[in-house]
Structure 1
């Protein structure tokens, strides 16, 4: 949690297995275990605020505009134009004050009560929402967060890395960020605009997204599966750090989970 002491991870047989598997995959790929290749771009996140504190999350209830670093990626890294799960990773700069970012990791999914928790292989990158899959504790409720794309000038958009780059170069991409608890309709809380074409991933100083390290006191992932996911993130980071000297990252790698 941003600005909070980091607790020692709880180790179990399952978390150690998740750590070892993620580390092994990351070492072989010289890239994140999941979302091994993607494209980077910049954007802005506009939070209109509520004026009445309805979210009970200061960051959502007050208006604000934030710079965002975004990674759009293929989850499994399948070749070519094959359907794949897609990831939309957001680094919201200074969300909790100067130098305190918020990371949101969103995955292609459906909008329904069950589908929002399951990753979905997709042929069209803008065909449906991207959700956090796991719920967030938002104020007094547990809510899933999701980004719903707006087509705008964009027609069908493939899922290969060249397709994603072309979409970013064609026109600004806009997403409506929404949240919903079980039994609630989706409610908008922010607007995301990707304002720049894809840019190269730097060899050093890349973004390493982690929703457990970079969350807010009033907006954080719930405990469900958190131990396994934290272990997998640690394993992936360790595997990337252990790649052979002189072995470069593949294009777009080194910035995922």
Structure 2
């Protein structure tokens, strides 16, 4: 499973091009349906809780991506939300979005509740609580060593362990995310396709699958609103 020559990557992108376009159109249609159902709210992740956080990276990796392999500390803004916006006590697909400040640029990562196994890491799951179930990026990023999936494992105390896995391979830790307190700035629109982490570009088929729904969800939004509180603050804590 290697991307060194780019040959395999190009072949996979070509093979996935049509399914990705069809899937992207279907997702965009579903998002349009949600917008019609609740025109006064965002169709996905309508409410969220925002926090300041710190990502500490341990280094020692072998992915060929500096952000994954090197030591470092990054300031982040974290949004925790329900994807569909179902009311409590119903479970929902939980989302964690990160806005990283990497030097003079901002980059986004999106995680959703999934399984943690070799196949279930690619399957969305609903969760009752935000700090009881693992999260992954669901779809892979391109690296010199092959497709990599990123994951977050909560410990229930406001700390999330960052791990990465090549495809269906073994998870390996590379850092941790600690929530430091409330974020009081404006609400943010996250887009990991337009603002990827340096060295972690999306595959062309992943961009084709995701971009239509992102554009549909963001159409007509100014992005200037204040954060709308969700339900992720429990017992005075961040999760």
Normalized against structure 1, the TM-score is what? Answer: 0.72
Contact map agreement 2:118 2:169 (CA 8 A) in 1: no
Residue of structure 2 equivalent to 1:124: 129
Unmatched tracts of structure 2, length 5 or more: 1-17, 231-239
Say if 1:194 and 1:29 are closer, same or farther in 2 by CA, change over 3 A. farther
Give the 3-state SS of the residue equivalent to 1:39 in structure 2: strand
Residue of structure 2 equivalent to 1:141: 146
* 1:18-71 Cα shifts (integer Å, max 9, x gaps): 445424534634333211111001000011222xx6120012222211110000
Contact map agreement 2:150 2:163 (CA 8 A) in 1: yes
Residue of structure 2 equivalent to 1:214: 195
| 1:76 and 2:53 matched | no
Number of positions where the alignment pairs a residue of Structure 1 with one of Structure 2:
210
Unmatched tracts of structure 1, length 5 or more: 1-9, 153-172, 243-247
* 1:63-98 Cα shifts (integer Å, max 9, x gaps): 21111000000111011221111000001112xx31
Residue of structure 2 equivalent to 1:67: 75
Say if 1:14 and 1:191 are closer, same or farther in 2 by CA, change over 3 A. closer
User: Shift of the alpha carbon at 1:14?
Assistant: 5.8
Say if 1:16 and 1:118 are closer, same or farther in 2 by CA, change over 3 A. closer
Normalized against structure 2, the TM-score is what? Answer: 0.77
| 1:105 and 2:113 matched | no
User: Shift of the alpha carbon at 1:189?
Assistant: 1.3
Equivalences for residues 16-55 of structure 1 within 5 A: 16=25, 18-23=27-32, 25-26=34-35, 28-50=38-60, 54-55=62-63
Equivalences for residues 82-93 of structure 1 within 5 A: 82-93=90-101
| 1:174 and 2:159 matched | yes
User: Shift of the alpha carbon at 1:176?
Assistant: 0.6
Residue of structure 2 equivalent to 1:233: 214
Residue of structure 2 equivalent to 1:57: 65
**Equivalents in 2 of 1:17, 1:33: separation in Å?**
15
* 1:195-220 Cα shifts (integer Å, max 9, x gaps): 10x44563xxx311000011135212
| RMSD between aligned residues | 2.7
User: Shift of the alpha carbon at 1:136?
Assistant: 1.3
The higher-RCO structure (CA 8 Å, 6+ apart) is 1
Contact map agreement 1:44 1:195 (CA 8 A) in 2: yes
